[in-house]
Amino acid sequence: MQVPLIQLQCGVNSYDWGKVGKESAAAKYAAATESNQFSIDNEKPYAELWMGTHPSLPSKDVETQRSLLDLIQDNQALMSPKISEKFGEKLPFLFKILSIRKALSIQAHPNKKLAEQLHAKDPKNYPDDNHKPEMTIAVTPFDGLCGFRPLKEITHFLATVPSLRKLIGENAAKEFEEAVSGRETSASLEDTQRNKKALQAAFSALVTKDKSVIATAAKELVATAEKEGENFAGGGGPSNGGKELADLVVRLNGQFEGDVGLFVLFYLNYVKLEVGEAMFLKADDIHAYLSGDIIECMASSDNVVRAGFTPKFQDIPTLTSMLTYSYAPISDQKMNPADYPYVTLNRTAYSSSSSAILYDPPIEEFSVVKTELNDKGAKATFEPINGPSVIICTAGSGSISVGSKTKQMKEGNVFFVGATAECILESDSESFTTFKAFCELSGKESASDAS
């Protein structure tokens, strides 16, 4: 059997929200693989680098040009029989680099049951039948809208942003305020269900408004933001200052003038991630990424239900009915990475404060390890796991070894490592950074066993 180390040729998508030309990490990484025959057009936006077996943009073996999906289906040992059986002989995760210049759509991804229904009914807009929980790790500073704010913050904005209150209507605003008053942080099941129902009604009252009405209200909103600055929205809520929100409204209006998303942001947490910070989004969680370069790992799906900041197909009835309407501060979605215990660092790695950090979401399909080797000769030896891995270098250079096979690895290079293979990373520069996505259903690395 061949050594299970395969260098991958990965495709890049050109969407309007992507960074342009060489400003895009996704484009730079795609161009780093010599056999890719890909050259960067400095006038073109490049949004996503895809690493995996999803049929929309499948990765290939650099040497043979066969798709990774073909190789996996021909040799189940690359995945492990258990994972092949559970996930249908395809990689259970999709690994991506996103380079975000302007806002992505306000969106959510359906759970497994809904995905099956949507795909059967509308395969053009919902191309597969899988769910899409996802994890985001910042490679550069990132900002986005993620999950519904605590209810007290939404109530605050209904009281301090007149154009928002006018747009959803006085009756809808009062009904929301009265329904949640005194129960905003209650942990009782009855109160939580009542609050979610009230939030659904208030959110639906906004996103179902006629576009011309929204556009008129948006002009008033933007004018107020420009005029009031730090006093905008009553000086802001506990999570965001008035000037921060005013600047955000003006910035997003410059990208999507008069869009409903300018008002949706008062319902959602506005979050900033520093490099290395991460968050996890369950299926049915609402979000919109706004700017930055990120590592994204998700279940292998391309289903998106949209409702703003996009010229693409929007399915507002599905979105308003599918959301969980969970409300919480953004701290509840941020992840707490931990040292990865199943790697051995050599003396050079230890003495240079090298590290291997595990991001472990509460699902089976994937986890991610970030490895930083901070000196020449620093080495990390990963114990074999009973599942597949995909590894990308995001900074510096070094080598990757599996069995008797060693390959040079530089920024943008991507490798697949088969199941049950020991993997060694060694730096030949002063900083060698990699991210490894992997899946193992049971044993020491199982997400289901994580605390």
* Catalytic residue numbers, as ranges: 306
Cβ–Cβ under 8 Å, residues 81 and 422? no
Cβ–Cβ under 8 Å, residues 97 and 142? no
Q: How open is the CA angle 115-195-153, to the nearest 5 degrees?
A: 100
Cα distance between residue 348 and residue 379, in whole Å: 7
Q: What are phi and psi of 427, to 5 degrees?
A: -85, 140
One-letter amino acid for residue 331 of the chain = S
Q: Which of 391, 442, 394, 446 is nearest to 416 (CA)?
A: 391
Place of tokens 């939580």: 192
Residue 331 burial by CB count (10 A; 0-12/13-18/19+): exposed, middle or buried? exposed
Cα distance between residue 370 and residue 295, in whole Å: 10
Tokens of 90: 């395809």
Cα distance between residue 365 and residue 91, in whole Å: 9
CB neighbour list of residue 74: distance below 8 Å, 6 or more residues apart: none
Q: What are the respective helix, strand and coil percentages of the chain, to the nearest 5?
A: 35, 30, 40
